[in-house]
Amino acid sequence: MTLAYTLVFTGLSLISLVHSENLNKMVLIHGEPRTFTNYSMSSLNWNSCMSYCYQMLTCIAVHYYDQNPECQIFEIGKINDLKQLDAYSGKIMAVKVLMLSDPTQCSSTSDGNSMRGEISTESSYQNYNITVDQDIWTISASPLYTCPDSFKLFHRVLGMWCMGVILKQNPNGINQIDSTQLCADKYNAILSGFDSTPEKRWVVDLANTVIYPNPPYKFNAYWVNGIRKDICRYSNQTQNPECQDKNAFDITDPTMSTLNAYVWAPYQPDGMQNNLGTSNCLLFRVGPQDGAGVDDRPYVDFFQKL
């Protein structure tokens, strides 16, 4: 890994570590931790200490003291604030923040830097903000959002949402009732909907890595959030505006902000063609290359789940 260093000696002392795959930089000041709960120590020298924090996912700050040289490593949520000192203190700190538009620039003032950061993986997220009041830097962290193993965390408009695809080994799959109960019993969760096209794309890619290239059927299907409303279950009710198209279904996924990603499969929905509202649940069909659309089906049919 190659790191580029830029040192500025005006106002604050700052250093920028730039790497093509890392969207952070280290802001260097003379200072010391003020309020904290815990930290780890290492015998690394100062440059290696900063580089270690830069590469460590959960590290947000490091401290070093010339007269007692050791690298003190602070992870997110473990340090609340730090105190800026003068250059003669011999105490220095590096704080990780997100880069602004130009990764080669490192401002000599706190106002010129983003003063915020985040810890982000496929299944977890936490961010923090830094405010400066005179010589005190206060670090405020958000809650830590985590998902179960093999789930993915999506950043929705209405909040964070964990999504997973549960494949049943039973060749008959699982019906909608048992699928809903499994979500509740195993994950204290509900059937997920689709809030965006990337969410559907993730399901398609994941399903295809498991099932294809030798699928037993032309399409596989996964139960998704959506139950036909009681007032929309018979053909003589379909003229009601509340029963038009996707409005006919109750969506209980709490962070769904739009139904635009619910795209019907060809000739769907067809649950009213027999004048009986028996196809009251929604599933998502997946083909070898792409999603094949949403379909309304009876809850007793056996499919996979989402």
Cα–Cα distance measured from residue 130 to residue 117, given in angstroms and rounded to the nearest whole number:
9
Closest C-alpha among 151, 155, 261 to residue 201: 261
Q: Which of 124, 146, 168 is the endpoint of a domain?
A: 146
Q: Do 15 and 26 form a contact (C-beta atoms < 8 A)?
A: yes
Q: What is the Cα 303 distance to its own chain's centre? A: 27
Specify the pLDDT at position 143: 93
Phi, psi (deg, nearest 5) at residue 6: -135, 125
pLDDT band at 203 (very low <50, low <70, confident <90, very high): confident
The pLDDT, as a whole number, for residue 46 is: 93
For the segment 87-116, what is each residue's pLDDT rounded down to a tens digit?
889 999 999 998 765 555 555 555 545 688
Q: What one-character-per-residue DSSP string does 179-195 give?
A: HHHHHHHHHS------S
The DSSP bridge pattern shows strands 304-305 and 220-228 to be: parallel
| One-letter amino acid for residue 29 of the chain | I
Q: What is the CA radius of gyration of the chain?
A: 26
pLDDT tens column, 14-66:
444 544 456 788 899 999 999 999 999 999 999 999 999 999 999 999 999 98
Q: Is the pLDDT of residue 229 over 50?
A: yes
Q: CA-CA distance, 3 to 200, in Å (whole number)?
A: 37
pLDDT band at 245 (very low <50, low <70, confident <90, very high): confident
Q: Residue 47's pLDDT is what?
A: 93
pLDDT of 252 > 50? The answer is: yes
**Tokens 């003589």 appear where?**
236
- Residues above pLDDT 70, as percent of the chain: 76
Residues 95 and 161 in one domain: no
**Do both 35 and 169 map to the same domain?**
no
- Whether residues 166 and 297 share a domain: the answer is yes
The mean pLDDT value for 279-304 works out to 76
Mean pLDDT of 138-155: 94
Q: What is the pLDDT of residue 9?
A: 28
Same domain, 156 and 296: yes
Q: Please, which pLDDT band fits residue 271 given cuts at 50, 70 and 90?
A: confident
> What pLDDT band is residue 216 in, cutting at 50, 70 and 90?
low
Q: What is the mean pLDDT of the chain?
A: 82
What SS3 class is residue 73? strand
- Distance of alpha carbon 164 from alpha carbon 25, whole angstroms: 33
User: Which among 146, 177, 202 is the end of a domain?
Assistant: 146
Alpha-carbon distance of 146 to 83, in angstroms, equals 31
Determine the structural domain holding residue 167 and report its residue range. 152-305
Both tokens of residue 45?
């020298």
pLDDT of residue 220: 76
Q: What is the pLDDT of residue 19?
A: 47
pLDDT higher than threshold 70 for residue 275? no
CB 280 within 8 A of CB 269: no
Q: Judge contact between 150 and 122, C-beta under 8 A.
A: no
Q: Which residue has the tokens 């959002």?
A: 145
Residue 10 has pLDDT above 50, yes or no: no
Whether residue 253 is found in the same domain as residue 275? yes
Q: Are residues 159 and 64 in the same domain?
A: no
Looking at the predicted structure, is the pLDDT value of residue 81 above 70?
yes
- Pairwise pLDDT comparison (132 vs 14), residue with the higher score: 132
Q: Which of 88, 112, 146 is the endpoint of a domain?
A: 146
The count of structural domains within the chain is 2
Instruction: Find out whether 70 and 33 touch, Cβ atoms under 8 Å.
Output: no
Same domain, 104 and 161: no
Task: Let me know whether 142 and 156 are in one domain.
Answer: no
User: What value does the mean pLDDT take over residues 62-87?
Assistant: 93
Buried b (16+ CB within 10 A) or exposed e, 20-35: eeeebbbbbbbbbbee
* Confidence grade of residue 163 (pLDDT, cut at 50, 70, 90): very high
- What's the predicted TM-score (pTM) here? 0.78
Judge whether residue 208 has pLDDT over 90. Answer: no
Residue 269 C-alpha from the chain's centroid: 32
Nearest C-alpha neighbor of 289 from the set 215, 191, 223, 216: 215
